Structure 1
Amino acid sequence: MIADWIADNLSLEYESTDFIAVSEFVLAWAFAERKIISTLNNNTGSLGCPVFRNILERNNNYRLNRHLNFAYIFFKNRYESRQGQTKFNNLNFRRTERDCRLQSFQAIRANNATDISKLKCVAYISSRIRNNLFHGNKNLGSLIQQQELIHAATQGIVGITISFNLAEDSEILLQL
């Protein structure tokens, strides 16, 4: 297993289950990206805040599902406090994503966020988690500590794919 090889080279101790959340997220993201990008007739694009923004501005008839709701509640609980605001800032939204950052923050702070606001929040935050995972500082120790965050992002991307009517919910997903 690659995780064993990396851990050996970093003298890192870990449990064999420590990277399941990352593996699940990577697979869910790859599936969702392929399904969503192909519906846009753009097989060369990459899924991220700009793509989500474009989709959600054209159509806001999407509904929450249990996966989106789980991710939204997790993100709200994680980022709502003063300490959480520092974590929120560490998502490193790009300058071109200021509106995505603002809409996510407003949905987190809202007492009664709309379904579309919650969906945008989950999409934008999950997108930043993906970017930070692939392009941010690599630290396996911090990945192990962020399993719950990565799990919530996985639930979010699964929920988005289902909400966009590109995949169906399944009892298999109850195990996530």
Structure 2
Amino acid sequence: MDQNSWLQNFLTEENVKPDFNKIENVKNFTILWNLFERFFCDKEGSLSTIQQNLTDLKENGYTLPPKSFDVPFNYFRQRYITNKKTNLIFEKLDFRDTKTDKTFKQSLKNCLEGEITVDYDKLSALLIITSRFRNNLFHGSKNIARISEQEESFAQLNNVLMSLLDFLKQSGKLSSAEDKL
């Protein structure tokens, strides 16, 4: 039995037949996260490390390409905001009940509910979301039988990771991929 058939048989729920032919972006996310964590986070992909590295980029004068993160930011703002407040879908990001996670959750909430025009703030918010998707995917919080329903969200996150990695490479902040693989 091939892997997709096995997964479909194993995960079939009432009225839900997972379509593992429609999860290309989820599969790609795993590779893109690996590259992001390796090249941007030096293999330490915590939110604290991610935010510190963003701060370092900004303080060292690296200018993000203007509006390069507007499309994914607007996608997630529309997804997580209803009537200018975070909604139940936002809560499904499943932040842990730690001081650090509470701080990042509040930061993300403020960013999504506010009028953000600074590209670094948008990228910060997007990387918090990306990190939560990563944790929820790899730690069993995502309903894998319904994962194809989040294909567009993963496509947006993949675009964020690719844009950031391209920016870092073009800015000379990365050695070639071959050096670190």
Shorter-normalised TM-score: what interval? 0.7 to 0.9
1:133 to 134, 137, 141: 137
Two-structure CA RMSD over aligned residues (Å): 2.4
Runs of at least 5 residues in structure 2 that lack an aligned partner in the other structure: 175-181
User: How far apart in 2 are the matches of 1:125 and 1:17?
Assistant: 25
Partner of 2:91: 89
Give the partner amino acid of 2:69: L
Deviation track 1:71-115 (CA, whole Å, cap 9, x = no partner) reads 211111111115852111111223222232222112211224311
1:48 to 36, 39, 46: 46
User: How far apart in 2 are the matches of 1:65 and 1:135?
Assistant: 34
Partner of 1:111: 115
Label 1:48 to 1:71 Cα distance change in 2 as closer, same or farther (>3 A): farther
User: How far apart in 1 are the matches of 2:5 and 2:88?
Assistant: 32
Does the alignment pair 1:153 with 2:157?
yes
Deviation at 1:149, TM superposition (A): 1.3
User: How far apart in 2 are the matches of 1:105 and 1:32?
Assistant: 24
Partner of 1:4: 5
Partner of 1:170: none
User: How far apart in 2 are the matches of 1:93 and 1:21?
Assistant: 23
Q: Is the 8 A contact 1:37 1:47 kept in 2?
A: yes
Deviation at 1:65, TM superposition (A): 6.0
Give the partner amino acid of 2:5: D
Q: What is the TM-score with the length of structure 2 in the denominator?
A: 0.76
Q: 3-state SS of the aligned residue for 2:21? A: coil
Q: What is the TM-score with the length of structure 1 in the denominator?
A: 0.78
Identical positions, percent: 20
Q: Is the 8 A contact 2:40 2:53 kept in 1?
A: no
User: How far apart in 1 are the matches of 2:158 and 2:71?
Assistant: 10
Q: 3-state SS of the aligned residue for 1:54? A: helix
1:37 to 37, 41, 48: 41
Give the partner amino acid of 2:52: N
User: How far apart in 2 are the matches of 1:62 and 1:88?
Assistant: 29
User: How far apart in 2 are the matches of 1:129 and 1:18?
Assistant: 18
Q: Is the 8 A contact 1:62 1:163 kept in 2?
A: no
Label 1:93 to 1:16 Cα distance change in 2 as closer, same or farther (>3 A): closer
Label 1:16 to 1:152 Cα distance change in 2 as closer, same or farther (>3 A): same
Number of aligned residue pairs: 161
Q: Pick the structure with greater CA Rg.
A: 2
Partner of 1:57: 55
